[in-house]
Structure 1
Amino acid sequence: MIRARFFSSNGHYVSFCIEGHSGYDIKGKDIVCAAVSALAQHTARSLTKYCGAIVEKKQAKLNVLLPQPSEFSDILVRELHESIEDIHSQYPQNLSVEVVINEDRHTVVRS
């Protein structure tokens, strides 16, 4: 299963992490993995280019940190989040989505 986690603080997205494999089909034919990967990599590249994001890629894992979140970075991450939610609605057994909100030291998790 792919696990997508979005982290928010003080009204801004501050990072996201996408990891794992969907298990929908074999490598090279997995449409869920391909869709999530394309969306996440495109967003990470845009955030790096325009917002100074720090990106860490590992085998089956992508971490993106926004040291200085902005309205523009929020738009990009929100669009990624909504697109991944759309995929999740079609393939809930292959993809989980979680939002972690940390407001003034209080953490709320939404799945």
Structure 2
Amino acid sequence: MIVCEFIKKGSFYVSFEISGHALYAKKGKDIVCAAVSSVSQHTARVLEVEGAVVKIEEGYLKVEKISKDEISQRFVEELVVTLKDIEEQYPRYVRVDVRVEVSDDAH
């Protein structure tokens, strides 16, 4: 299963981590893995240009220090929506979680 975990502090996405394998089909023919990989890596590369820290390995992607600017936040929100669409179509292979933490800026 591919697990997609997003962290928000207040109303801002600050990081996300995507790990695992869908195991929907053999390597090279797994449409679920291909969909998740392409959309998430595209988003990561855009965010990296805006200053985010990105780590990509086989079956693993982590993006931290996401900018609070409107474009970066919109890219992450669209990624969440897209991954939830994939999760809805393939619930045995993808799980998407969004965790909201108390913002440090609340003071």
TM over 0.5: yes
- The structure-2 alpha-carbon separation of the partners of 1:69 and 1:104, relative to structure 1 and needing over 3 Å to count, comes to closer
CA distance in 2, matches of 1:104, 1:53: 18
- The structure-2 alpha-carbon separation of the partners of 1:63 and 1:26, relative to structure 1 and needing over 3 Å to count, comes to same
1:71 positional shift: 1.7
| 1:88 lines up with 2:90 in the alignment | no
1:58 positional shift: 2.2
Number of residue pairs matched? 104
Instruction: Tell whether the 8 Å contact from 1:2 to 1:21 is kept in structure 2 after alignment.
Output: yes
The runs of 4+ residues in structure 1 deviating greater than 4 Å are: none
Partner SS for 1:38? helix
Q: Gaps (5+ residues) in structure 1?
A: 106-111
Q: Matches of residues 70-81 of structure 1 in structure 2 within 5 Å? A: 70-81=69-80
1:95 positional shift: 0.4
The residue number in structure 1 matching 2:39 is: 39
| 1:62 lines up with 2:61 in the alignment | yes
| 1:10 lines up with 2:23 in the alignment | no
CA distance in 2, matches of 1:74, 1:84: 15
What is the TM-score of this pair, normalised by structure 2? 0.92
- The structure-2 alpha-carbon separation of the partners of 1:74 and 1:45, relative to structure 1 and needing over 3 Å to count, comes to same
Instruction: Tell whether the 8 Å contact from 2:6 to 2:99 is kept in structure 1 after alignment.
Output: yes
What is the TM-score of this pair, normalised by structure 1? 0.89
Instruction: Tell whether the 8 Å contact from 2:52 to 2:66 is kept in structure 1 after alignment.
Output: yes
1:13 positional shift: 0.4
Q: Gaps (5+ residues) in structure 2?
A: none
The percentage of aligned residue pairs carrying the same residue is 43
Partner SS for 2:25? coil
CA distance in 2, matches of 1:42, 1:104: 27
1:104 positional shift: 4.4
The residue number in structure 2 matching 1:108 is: none
